Amino acid sequence: MKMPGYITTDQPPTAAEYIALRCNVGWGSIELNTAQNSLNSSLFNTTVRLDGQLIGMARVVGDGFMYFYIQDVIVDPAHQGRGIGQMLMARVEAYLANTCQAGATIGLLAAKGKEPFYRRYGFIERDGETLGKGMCRFVRE
C-alpha cells in the first residue's frame, strides 16, 4: 500500500524518535539507553515518515525461530485513520511470511479497542475458553 508523501523503510527509528512517538500516544517516556537497546534487539523494524518526520513504526521481537511478537505498532495521533497502521502491518506481515516456519507462534498485545484491526490479519482473541486469556506484567518504579 503506497500513499503519496509517506516513505516506508525497514530501518528502526532513532531512540529519541521512538521515545517521542511513545509519548505522543500516551505510553510514557523511557530512558534513552533503554530505548536504544530495545530497538537494537528487535528482529525487524519498519517506519513511516512524512517530510522526514517519524509518524509511525512497528517492530517484531522474539527468538526468531519459534516465537515472534508484534510490538510497538504506533501511529502519531495526528496521522491516525489514514491507513498508516495498514502500511506498517503489510511490512510486518511480509517479514513474518518470509521468516516464520511451521510451528511458529506470532503474538501481540492489542491496545484496548484495537482488536478489530488485528483480526484482519488473522489474530484471534484469547477468550479463556481454549487457550487461556494470556497475561502480562508491567514493571514500574
* Domains of the chain from N-terminus onward: 6-119 (3.40.630.30)
Q: Which residue has the higher pLDDT, 138 or 86?
A: 86
β-strand partners of 54: 49
Q: What is the pLDDT of residue 64?
A: 95
Residue 62, classed as helix, strand or coil, is strand
Alpha helices (H) along 25-77: 32-40
pLDDT, tens digit (0-9, with 9 covering 90-100), for 15-28: 999 999 999 999 99
Q: How many CB atoms lie under 10 A from the CB of residue 89?
A: 20
Q: What is the pLDDT of residue 136?
A: 76
Confidence of residue 12 (pLDDT cuts 50, 70, 90): very high
Quick check: 2 pLDDT over 80?
no
Answer yes or no: are the C-beta atoms of 3 and 87 closer than 8 Å: yes
For the segment 96-121, the average pLDDT, to the nearest whole number, is 92
Q: Give the three cell numbers for residue 105.
A: 507462534
pTM of the shown model = 0.90
Q: What is the pLDDT of residue 3?
A: 62
pLDDT, tens digit (0-9, with 9 covering 90-100), for 43-85: 999 999 999 999 999 999 999 999 999 999 999 999 999 999 9
For the four alpha carbons of 14, 56, 78 and 140, in that order, the dihedral sign comes to negative
